[in-house]
Structure 1
Amino acid sequence: MAEDIKTKFKKYQTAPFDSCFPNQNQTRNCWQNYLDSHHCEKAMTAKGGDVSVSEWHRRVYTCLCPISWVSAWNDHRAEGTFPGKI
């Protein structure tokens, strides 16, 4: 399974179509992948598992989200004022 994910990462170009977010506006998709990435990373770290599993979500939100949003969200997480549930 892990090998399949690694081969998909090598072929990875940009965020794929997600049927949960069919509209042209991808703001919600960006937000959800940001949350999923950090939630997955937190869960895998707590279990002592491989954190690279959450790499998929990180790559997707990196493609979809403006850099200013991500840096602001990271600042809010560091300050403890992030509005999302991670």
Structure 2
Amino acid sequence: MNVVEIEIKGNEGVVKNPEMLKGRGQTVPYDPRFPNTNQTRNCYQNYLDFFRCQKVKGEDYEPCSWYKFAFHELCPPAWIEKWDEQRAKGIFPGRI
């Protein structure tokens, strides 16, 4: 088991724990889907995944917090603000 993962009771399987990384001063681990140095797509995908997770599982579903941690670590704050404003106005180009 990876040190970033914790077991969750029930059928949820293994979930990544962002609090463990924050406590160690670490950032998002390597994701083989995004092998390049440029992490723009990784940032955007985690942003989408967070809101998709909340939409499907509900806002109180704890494992969704991993995606929020990831996009806050990878994305510039200006991008997040812009995307949040676009979502509020209903003009966000991504499919959530």
Rounded to whole Å, the distance in 2 between the matches of 1:10 and 1:81 is 32
Identify unmatched segments of 5+ residues in structure 1: none
| Equivalent position to 1:66, from 47, 51, 76 | 76
**Which residue number corresponds to residue 8 of structure 2?**
2
Q: Deviations over 1:9-67 (max 9, x none)?
A: 3321211100010000000000000000000011112xxx8421110011000000000
**Which residue number corresponds to residue 83 of structure 1?**
93
TM-score normalised to structure 2 length: 0.77
Q: How does 1:29-68 map to 2 (within 5 A)?
A: 29-45=42-58, 50-68=60-78
Does residue 26 of structure 1 match 2:36?
no
Rounded to whole Å, the distance in 2 between the matches of 1:29 and 1:9 is 16
Q: Which has the higher contact order (CA 8 A, sep 6+)?
A: 1
SS in 2 for 1:21: coil
| Equivalent position to 1:15, from 17, 28, 32 | 28
TM-score normalised to structure 1 length: 0.85
Give the structure with the higher percent helix: 1
